[in-house]
Amino acid sequence: MTPNSSRYWHKLVQVTTVADALPSVFQAVVTSGKYSGLAVLAVYLVVVLVLVGPFWLLSFLVTEWGVYAVIVASIFYLGRAIIRMIAFPGASSKVTAEVESEFAKYSVRMLVASANCLRELSSAIHQSSLDGSGGPSSSSSTLSNYELAPLWKRTLSYRDRALGVYLEVLLFVYEQQQQTSPPSSQNNQVRTRFGTNRIQGDIGNFSGITPQAREDGRELLRLLQKIMQQLDQLEQRAGSVFHNTNNPYGSSSNTRPTFSPEAQETASLLLASANELRDFVSALKPPGDEGGDANSTASPTAQQQQQLQQQEQGGAMDAIKGGLSSILPMLDPPLHTSIFGMDVLRGTVLSRYVGARQLWVPRQDGGMLDVLYIPGTAAQQSSPQQNIVQQQPRKAVMYCNPNAGLYEVATGMSLAGGNIGDPPQAGDDTAATAACWTDFYTELGYDMYLFNYAGFGRSFGTSMCASSSQPNNLVEPPQAGAAAVIHRVIRIFKGLFLTFKPTPDTLRADGVALASYIARDQSVASLVIHGESIGGVAASRSAQTLSTVPIMREKLQLLVCDRTFCNLEAVAQRLVGNWSGYAIRMLAPLWNTDVAGDFLAASCHKVVANDFADAIIADGSSLKTGVALWREIKRGMSTTRGIGWVTETPVEYRMADWENVSVVGSHYVAAGHVNRCAPVWPQDKHITLAEAFHFAACTKRIGRVAKQSGRRRSSQSEEMELGGGGPVTNPIQSAWEALSCCDGLCGAPLGAAVKIGFDETLAWLCCLLTYGGQIVVDNAERRLAATMPSATDRPPVVVPSDFDQRPEGYTSQESAKLMHPKPVPEVLESIKGLIASNKDAFLTVQHEMDFVVGMLEYIVARLSSAPNVETSWRCKHGVQDETAVGMFLNLHCGHNSAFSKPEQDQLKAILTKAAGT
């Protein structure tokens, strides 16, 4: 061996391998031949005993074919469970546990802050008494009346919005839902002495928490009652001081407050109780809320290093235990260990809204829906009676949650929310943007109905193997021994095979049940059905069902499908892969998630709200795209099943792209059947799928050639700069810059769609032709409103400037990296001018440019034509017909965020139009 080769092998041996990164236990196995052999034998025995052995024994009972059937059935059931967990995460115990954990952290922080405020008030009173008795005085520590009044006001705020709320909730449950406190003088039927709403209905019985948590709740109740009694005594004995803000000496001098001995004694007791409350609540802090450690970045000690080494040595066993500990809670959810669970959260929600109450609504197939009713602002001001809904006709909203939503968190967790405070003044812009849909609709005077689907929260249904039962009667299981193991196995078996599981059809049934209950039993004059995300499944079917019943159809005012999809398979294809749509069909063949079909069948005013940049529901799988494809490509065919699925790109375009040639120039695939001419209006009332794909292929080809030309332009510019020449211009690149900025009127420019792929370009084109006319009509009406206020009473005449959505002064906002989408007529004229002045430069993409120009001309002519303008005007103003596709609402708020102020204003305008027609 030469010295060079020896040096090479020495370096090779020193290279770090995978074995070096393994834990010490596995390093001993891979570095020793004896241990490696034993490890192989152990793996063999594990496979035989754990995998092969049980199936071999099972074959004696069910035969070999029976074992195969069991394996296939297990894979099928596991696949369905995974699909259901992804589609309906709100039905899993994990989401509920996360909500309870976050609420427990928030409650602890609120109660600790309340206790600190009480301590501050008591300390201030105690300090003032020392100053007034001849003790050491400090001008900086002595509080004046001006400083004491805000402190007392803050104490009252914590008392009414935090301490009082938890007191009312705990009393309501522990006192078997009796009168919790004397009513207040104002609205004495619905308000407590703290000004909060009096709890009505069933909020739970603490059966979902451990016995220790229930005992903690009783202790917390005792502390709150004692603190409330001491605060009442303090207000009686020192109220004149707290409310005295007059200063006879002027603003430059301080008036020293004086307290009676009784008030000072009460303050001392209050200080002790506040300390006790703070210490007790701090002990209830959840494990994940300890806060950061200032010494967390310090170097570990020798003992800590030894512990880390021991943990690494036991890493394999710890990994197995960790895996089991993460799976078992999903199969057998444990009881919540904190008093701040879903029952208390439910009570705090009811406390924040005047007149709110909980209802149980029966399902048609058995079971009950847990419903939260919140009256609108008009109902609260007109009458405080509990049965206001039955006394006069009302307008109501049924809100259908997204897939991970529960009504307990639909209004947020903050105790400062709700409408129990002072109502916003007219013209107050600070309160104009609603934080949640409940605030948005109730401020408009709508009664709000929130509910959990069956299988979510406390709502329940029936299954073929088990009778209906309310999941609120849990019994504390045995803690140890064989009985505990048997009890857990039984619970897991029931949970896996016997309990009710939500499906798209059950969501539809739940929506129909509640919508029928509202329209039939609650005497509402008009009903709005709002479905968000997967809530569109329940909302669209509810509207479709009610619109077939004459009595209920008159009450159905509006259907709002908010950021929902056309079907679930289309969403999965774009999130996971094309195969996932077929997997859902195979594993759940009876699932029907066709939102587009129900939406189109609903004969009422309806809204499609969509955000092109939605991170969860891709634009190609959105309801907007599904309706547009049905209207444009499918030509209004009877079925919408499978619409919105990823469409395979024709092979001639894929081969042409691979060969980097013209879309009609592939050497391997003949393109004779491709329509090489763009559609012409009015001869072509719709475009074909072949024409849409050809447009997508042409735009992609132009973009690719422009990108390649840009690279050559960059190198040529460097050469010209070195040679002293001028800049190099590229007409193809200029044409692509204009074309990529072409406004689709539905949320995105053409370049964004082309970047995603053929499928998205198809969606962009169909949505522009289906919903773009509404945007054009809206711009035309705003243009005419300045000179002709009555122009909105009839379809307007469209001009090219109505395609422009850019704001005034947009040129000052643009730069080389920021450009507003350009209107289609402007892009068309720009491209025509470039082609006319640079014919030779477009020879490589002549066919593509001709087809794109022809398609843009078709778009402008069609959207500007009188028949299309009239159709768009009728849809925009809610005038329904058999082919109505609904009003389009373009969003920019993402999937889970609240609407922005302009978007909320647009929805308000739509509600006004729907109510007036």
One-character DSSP codes across 126-140: HHHHHHHTTS---TT
Residue 302 pLDDT > 70, yes or no? Answer: no
Q: Are 819 and 750 in contact (CB under 8 A)?
A: no
pLDDT number for residue 896: 87
Q: Are 884 and 874 in contact (CB under 8 A)?
A: yes
Question: Model confidence over 549-600: pLDDT tens digits?
Answer: 988 999 999 999 999 999 999 999 999 999 999 999 999 999 999 999 999 9
Q: Where, residue-wise, is CATH 1.20.1420 in the chain?
A: 93-247+256-288
Residue among 375, 523, 352 at smallest CA distance from 444? 375
Residue 121 pLDDT > 70, yes or no? Answer: yes
pLDDT number for residue 503: 95
**Which range among 86-95, 246-255, 618-627, 666-675 has the greatest average pLDDT?**
618-627
User: So what's the architecture of 93-247+256-288 in CATH?
Assistant: Up-down Bundle (1.20)
pLDDT number for residue 333: 85
Mean pLDDT of 133-154: 62
pLDDT number for residue 479: 61
Mean pLDDT of 436-457: 95
- Percentage of the chain modeled with pLDDT above 90: 58
The pTM of the full predicted model, rounded to 2 decimals, is 0.87
Mean pLDDT of 38-63: 85
Q: Where, residue-wise, is CATH 3.40.50.1820 in the chain?
A: 357-422+429-456+502-566+594-646+888-910
**Cis check: omega of the bond before 183, within 30 degrees of 0:** no
Mean pLDDT of 520-531: 93
Residue 385 pLDDT > 50, yes or no? Answer: no
pLDDT number for residue 95: 92
Question: Model confidence over 354-377: pLDDT tens digits?
Answer: 999 999 999 999 999 999 999 998
- Enter the DSSP assignment of 497: I
d(CA 315, CA 420): 54
Indicate the average pLDDT of the chain. Answer: 84
pLDDT number for residue 390: 44
Residue 613 pLDDT > 60, yes or no? Answer: yes
* Lowest-pLDDT choice from 170-174, 494-498, 767-771: 494-498
Residue 137 pLDDT > 90, yes or no? Answer: no
Residue among 543, 680, 557 at smallest CA distance from 623? 543
pLDDT number for residue 523: 84
pLDDT number for residue 599: 96
pLDDT number for residue 693: 95
* Lowest-pLDDT choice from 210-219, 557-566, 809-818: 809-818
CATH number of 357-422+429-456+502-566+594-646+888-910: 3.40.50.1820
DSSP string, 150-196: HHHHHHHHHIIIIIHHHHHHHHHHHTTS---SPBPSSSTTTBBTTSS
* Lowest-pLDDT choice from 13-27, 466-480, 862-876: 466-480
Q: Are 80 and 588 in contact (CB under 8 A)?
A: yes
Q: Are 744 and 768 in contact (CB under 8 A)?
A: yes
Between 22 and 692, the more confident residue is 692
pLDDT number for residue 325: 64
pLDDT number for residue 432: 63
pLDDT number for residue 908: 95
Residue 455 pLDDT > 80, yes or no? Answer: yes
CA 271 to chain centre: 43
Q: Are 879 and 415 in contact (CB under 8 A)?
A: no
**Which range among 110-119, 189-198, 388-397, 641-650 has the greatest average pLDDT?**
110-119
